[in-house]
């Protein structure tokens, strides 16, 4: 079965999300995020074929942030993994800055200091998310979301 991701990172995507169906689309998404202003450095990705909640919202939340200046990014996943609901982030390198912040349509989102991934890891994780039908990618190491991060 083939899957599709609906990506949101600009206000106009509320009505018309970017649709991702192929590896080339994933490459284009990361390239687009690299070219965006800081206000749009994080994308919310939802697999269209996954179930919805009773309220009609996706049952998961996959966030991808890109820092174009430093050529790194971060990933956050909320959903159910092996029967347990939770929130996780992709563990990576320790940032050389006081905080790791991306912006989703102008709203800041902070990730833990040890969450920086190279762009190749970001691209692979999004491709895995697409191919697996919206499962948390196994290609990266995950850590439980810390209580002290907003």
Write out pLDDT tens, residues 16-74.
Answer: 999 999 999 999 999 999 999 898 999 999 999 998 989 989 999 999 999 999 999 99
Question: pLDDT tens, 84-124?
Answer: 899 999 999 999 888 999 999 889 999 999 999 999 999 99
What's the confidence (pLDDT) of residue 96?
A: 86
Is position 25 within any domain?
yes
pLDDT band at 150 (very low <50, low <70, confident <90, very high): low
What's the confidence (pLDDT) of residue 58?
A: 92
Cα dist from 123 to 64, 137, 144, whole Å: 10, 11, 21
Q: How many domains does the chain have?
A: 1
pLDDT at residue 78 is higher than 80 = yes
Is position 122 within any domain?
yes
- 111 SS3 class: strand
Q: What would the mean pLDDT of 132-147 be, rounded to a whole number?
A: 92
pLDDT at residue 147 is higher than 80 = no
Is position 149 within any domain?
no
Is position 150 within any domain?
no
Is position 17 within any domain?
yes
Q: What would the mean pLDDT of 131-148 be, rounded to a whole number?
A: 91
Task: Indicate left, alpha or beta for 67 from its phi (over 0: left) and psi (-120 to 50: alpha).
Answer: beta
> How far apart are the C-alpha atoms of 87 and 145, rounded to whole Å?
5
Is position 49 within any domain?
yes
Is position 127 within any domain?
yes
What's the confidence (pLDDT) of residue 68?
A: 94
- Its domain, for residue 124, covers 5-144
pLDDT at residue 138 is higher than 80 = yes
What's the confidence (pLDDT) of residue 149?
A: 61
């Amino acid at each position: 079965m083939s899957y599709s991701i609906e990506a949101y990172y600009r206000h106009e995507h509320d009505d018309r999300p970017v649709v991702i169906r192929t590896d080339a689309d994933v490459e284009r998404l990361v390239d687009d995020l690299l070219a965006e202003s800081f206000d749009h450095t994080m994308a919310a990705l939802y697999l269209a074929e996954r179930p919805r909640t009773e309220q009609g919202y996706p049952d998961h939340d996959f966030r991808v942030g890109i820092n174009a200046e430093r050529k790194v990014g971060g990933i956050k996943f909320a959903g159910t993994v092996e029967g347990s609901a939770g929130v996780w982030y992709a563990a990576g390198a320790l940032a050389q800055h006081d905080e790791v912040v991306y912006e989703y349509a102008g709203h800041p989102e902070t990730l833990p200091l040890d969450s920086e991934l190279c762009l190749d890891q970001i691209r692979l994780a999004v491709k895995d998310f697409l191919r697996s039908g919206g499962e948390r990618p196994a290609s990266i190491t995950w850590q439980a979301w810390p209580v002290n991060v907003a």
